[in-house]
Amino acid sequence: EKAKWSPEDRDNLYAGIAKYGIDPGSWKKIIEDFFPGSSHPVLHIRIKASKLIGSQGLNRYHGWIGSKEECMAEYARNKAIGEATGCWKTGILVENDHGHAMAAIRKRDEEEAAAGIEPPGKIIRKH
């Protein structure tokens, strides 16, 4: 039976992303710290994180860390790109065969950098 995802689970995942970030090595730590005794598999947590941030692909987020509010802001940014490019499907940004989403993300990031706008969250480098 599929376990229901509660608002408390969602808040725990936001807290896990705020503490450990989005990274392949983060999921087990998030489960251990924020879902103790849970039967949630790593893939389940990763998919839920993908939905919280609004992006099917999480590779560009490796090392990204953000609060609940920063995750929500990133979700809104991804939704805006998805809706503008036709790449918003079932609540997440998905790439199409033409690379429209990535092209729009690059353009937005370049424009924000030129304007001195800091994106939500931050990248933490692990050594």
**pLDDT tens profile 62-87:** 999 999 999 999 999 999 999 999 99
Helix axes of 42-53 and 7-20: crossing angle, nearest 10 degrees: 90
pLDDT of residue 67: 96
pLDDT of residue 61: 93
Residue 9 has pLDDT above 50, yes or no: yes
pLDDT band at 2; cut points 50, 70, 90:
low
Q: What does the CA dihedral 43, 39, 88, 73 come to, rounded to 10 degrees?
A: -100
On average, the pLDDT of the chain sits at: 92
Residue 3 has pLDDT above 80, yes or no: no
pLDDT of residue 69: 97
Global pTM reads 0.90
CA atoms 61, 66, 69, 73: torsion sign:
negative
